[in-house]
Amino acid sequence: MTPAGGEIRVASATAASIDLVVWDGPDAGHPGHRVPLARDAHGVWSARTHVLRPGAHYTLRADGPREGGAPFDPALDLLDPYARGLARTPGGGWRARVPADDAFDWGGVERPSIPLDHVVLYEAHVRGLTMLHPGIPEELRGTYAGLASDAAIEYLTGLGVTTVELLPVHQFVSERRLQEQGRVNYWGYNTLHFFTPHDGYATRSARREGADAVLREFRGMVRRLHEAGLQVVLDVVYNHTAEEGQDGPTTSLRGLDDVTYYRHDAQGHYLDTTGCGNTLDASQPVVQRLVLDSMRYWASEAHVDGFRLDLAATLARDADARFDPAHALLTAMRDDPVLGERLLIAEPWDVGPGGWQVGRFPAGFSEWNDGFRDRMRDFWLTDVAAARARGVAPVGIGPMARRLTGSAHVFSEERGPLASINFVTAHDGFTMADLTAYDVKHNEGNGEDNRDGTDANHSYNHGVEGPSDDPAITAVRRKAMRNLLGTLLLSAGVPMLTAGDEFGRSQRGNNNAYCQDGELTWLRWEREPWQEDLLAITRHLIRMRRENPAVRPVRYGRWGETVPSATQMDWYNKEGLAMTLEDWDSPVERTLQYLAASTPEFEPFNRILLVVHGLEEGVTVTLPEHEGVGGYTLLWDSARDALDPDQLEFGPGSDLVVAPTSMQLFRAHPAP
């Protein structure tokens, strides 16, 4: 693109004609120029024209067959899938806009280089994180610039997280159903366009100035976060688009080449593996190219550090809609010289046949580990509820220990524990506080008669549904939160913390707040004393993770070998003796001592002891006597509401009274 004009290229295998329509201005009701595109032998349509200048507003109009998919409509104005800017029309539609100024001064700021075992992800919403923050200027709240503010950055760096994972920031719109209800798509999983930042997260001044200013503000946010040493990962939705079902709005791909871009069954109906009305057909090279080009654009032009791929199982389905771990798109992402250096995180499922594919993605990808989520929730919540009801927990401590040490039964040795993205909560589902306060969802405010959202919450209200003033109930709920946070941040794998869980944020039992853009979902920054204590504990646990490499191995260990950057594990029961099969499996013996020693490769030697007790009766534990261990320093005890400034010392073989349903972290010291 030059001041003298430019070239446009559009892929469509089935169109009979495509015209470029250039409008005289953003408010023009009639096109100023119409330029036909020529088709090459590969189904790529192109034209060079002097009217396609910086600042120009344009659309596409396509004609073609009326059968075999969605019919072509030459009267529809369509978006260029590769446009680098969008503009709204007075009637509420969209047009593409040629960037007037694509330059940005990165000021020499480099992307932070953070080893994967040091990464602590923080899943956050641009608007929800900043909208109520009193330290952010009012005009910046809810925006990219607000996230780049001193107040937001100071909070994130003070918390100790390394990587901000943003819910979708590609330009998105609300579904027609929500618009008719007067609601909005708050989360943003309804992408209109893959190359432009969502303008609703830009400041008013940037929106008034236009697409160039919105992109500049987004880049400015990335630069500021990078200056603070924070990585930026984007949650990206390449599995479907905002064109919804076959009777949904036609804005771009459907109008250009429906049968190529979207999956269809033998009868020509949409084959939907996303639950969102349509599914992009990632078996098509043109779709693969679109996805890869979009990712490269955000990585190269916006300097983002990685991608969380929503419903990634859909992106790895072949021409017969079967999941293929060697899929060309996954391989291209991993092997790409730009993308291969970024974090690649898969949500390893969709709603289609054979949609649950946890552990089957190739090397180079990490995956959301829902098995970790469910097992840890069960251990600290539903198992406790079952024990109260029936007198005994349903399982022993063994399944929990497998997740604690990196889910080696799920991920291959080649990929190692860092293939697991460990999480207890995410944007979708209960908050951590609500896990401890609600047995069932309370989504009445979503306007779907509480039918939406999962019923498989793995939660426990501890005797009262919802808020309680009973000190005994609030105490055990807060301890459960501390246990969940401790398990998350002290387990092998890459932890993901959901914004607000660090201080016990509640959504009043709503486990599907996708259409709630208000104080229910925005983080509140006025905290009660117990929340300040929980925040301090979260900061402490993140620091403990950073300082103790024994809890964050890069590789799985092998029995009888010393594997670099792995963890040598020794397991003891409450008597300080080697764990027996009964200790692992018995529902009445839910106590273990996990002695973990690092096998140094890049960091000094480190050994920790983690004591886990999963029954509501206290227990006396004899600390293990192990060769080379001369003593233990208590670093954290989840039974305590607040951090204890005194670090207690214990000798091997000494007895320790462990509180009901609690965990303790020790640093093991070498023998003199």
* 370 closest CA partner among 303, 442, 426: 426
- Positions of E strands within 29-168: 31-36, 38-39, 44-49, 57-63, 86-88, 94-97, 121-124, 163-166
Secondary structure class of 636 (helix, strand, coil): strand
Please give the sequence-ordered ranges of beta strands (E in DSSP) within 5-162, or none if there are none: 6-11, 17-23, 31-36, 38-39, 44-49, 57-63, 86-88, 94-97, 121-124
H/E stretch holding 161 reads: none
Catalytic residue chosen out of the listed positions 235, 347, 350, 501: 347
Amino acid (1-letter code) at residue 222? V
210 φ/ψ sector (left φ>0, alpha ψ -120 to 50, else beta): left
3-class secondary structure per residue, 478-509: HHHHHHHHHHHHCCCCEEEEECCHHHCCCCCC
Cα–Cα distance measured from residue 474 to residue 457, given in angstroms and rounded to the nearest whole number: 20
Distance between CA atoms of 51 and 251, rounded to whole angstroms? 23
Residues in the chain: 672
- 247 catalytic? Reply is no
Of the candidates 199, 212, 258, 310, the residue annotated as catalytic is 310
Question: How far is the first Cα of the chain from the last one, in angstroms, to the nearest whole number?
Answer: 71
**C-alpha distances out from residue 56 to 8, 10, 20, 85, 356, Å:** 13, 17, 12, 10, 45
Spatial separation of the C-alpha atoms in residues 405 and 597, rounded to whole Å: 12
Pull the structure tokens for residue 259. Answer: 């049968």
Residue 583 known to be catalytic: no
Q: What would the two tokens of residue 146 be?
A: 């607000």
Q: Which residues are catalytic?
A: 310, 347
